[in-house]
Amino acid sequence: MAAVDLTSHPGHLARRLQQAHHLLWNTMVSEETTSPQYAVLNTLVAEPGLDQRGVGERVGLDRSTVAEVISRLSRRGLVDKVRDPQDGRRALLRLTADGRRVHRKLTVRTARMNQIFLAPLTADERRLFLDLAQRVADAAEHLRAAPLTPS
């Protein structure tokens, strides 16, 4: 059997993009705060008082991953958990003052990183690339709910 052209494999391209993103993130944004951690901070800026499940849904993280991300952010003093006054079993999440400070700093850095990451594309191509990537990512979210079997 002949080798296949991996440039036609979305997973291969996604892995290469992820490697580039990881390199840029660690050099330009933060070695301490990961991209998923930043996504959680950003979500809590937009919607303070969400619970863990709501944060996970907004950022596309499964239950165990979002729990670990929030635990790490809490240990660093960036996120506080407070009991929901209407349901004592539910914890609501809010950024601390340090969390807001870290978010502001990282937001400036991510904007610059994204400029470099997307530099090979024109402005129109960037919009198209992001639109298409968003559509694929949204569709992929539904794959978790559907049972998949190898053929």
14-47 confidence digits (pLDDT tens): 999 999 999 999 999 999 999 999 999 999 999 9
pLDDT at 108: 97
Kindly state the average pLDDT of the residues 68-97. 93
Reduced to 3 states, what is the DSSP secondary structure of residue 6?
helix
Residue 86 sits at φ, ψ, to 5 deg, of: -95, -15
User: CA 103 to CA 99: how far, in whole Å?
Assistant: 6
Residues in the chain: 151
pLDDT at 46: 97
Q: Residues 22, 27, 32, 33: is their CA dihedral positive or negative?
A: negative
pLDDT at 88: 79
Kindly state the average pLDDT of the residues 111-115. 97
Kindly state the average pLDDT of the residues 61-82. 95
- Domains of the chain (ranges, CATH numbers): 30-142 (1.10.10.10)
User: CA 94 to CA 79: how far, in whole Å?
Assistant: 6
pLDDT at 84: 81
pLDDT band at 147 (very low <50, low <70, confident <90, very high): low
pLDDT at 148: 67
Reduced to 3 states, what is the DSSP secondary structure of residue 1?
coil
Residue 51 sits at φ, ψ, to 5 deg, of: -90, 175
pLDDT at 143: 75
pLDDT band at 150 (very low <50, low <70, confident <90, very high): confident
pLDDT at 100: 98
User: CA 146 to CA 110: how far, in whole Å?
Assistant: 33
Its pTM stands at 0.89
